[in-house]
Amino acid sequence: MNALTSLIPGADTLAAASTGGTVGGASSVQAGYGVSLTDLSGFSDAMARAGGTLQPQAVAPSAETMQALFKPFEHINAEAATLSEHAKTAMAAGNDLTPGEMVMLTVRCHEFLFHSQLTANVANRTSDGLQQLFRQQA
């Protein structure tokens, strides 16, 4: 094995699979938290040499909790789409925006920016809280 595939978690299993053997009775490959893009590239190369293919697998539909977590992002996407549509119709009309329309568009853009920053702040705080929780549990 070359140096690149020796970095891959479970590379011994892949090498054994290509020769028809097993290593320690392991039949699956698992990657830990320290996986890098180099590891993934090496894993793909090792799978190609082993003659294996990765098939997509169906996943269960998301739970209500996950759907609730993505509601703020969906709201931001809808808000951005509305702003984009309003700007495109204003440009398609060929008329200059009146000062009142320009102020309203600016206010809506600032409102969108506020919602985006608020959502990003909440996501960052949640991420920090989860990291702290995992550190305490470890």
Say if residue 138's pLDDT is above 70: yes
| Dist. CA 99–CA 126, nearest whole Å | 40
Q: Considering the domain boundaries, does residue 23 fall inside one? A: yes
Decide if pLDDT at 132 tops 60. yes
What phi, psi does 26 have (nearest 5°)?
A: -80, 135
The pair of three-digit structure tokens given for residue 107, joined into one six-digit string:
């206010």
Same-domain status, 10 and 41: yes
pLDDT at 14 over 70: no
Please give the single-letter amino acid code of residue 82: T
Considering the domain architecture, whether residues 46 and 68 belong to the same structural domain is answered as no
Residues 42 and 73 in one domain: no
Same domain (yes/no): 93, 119: yes
127 pLDDT higher than 70: yes
Least confident of 7-11, 107-111, 120-124, 129-133: 7-11
Q: How many domains does the chain have?
A: 2
Owning domain of residue 99: 64-137
In a domain, 10, yes or no: yes
pTM to 2 decimal places: 0.47
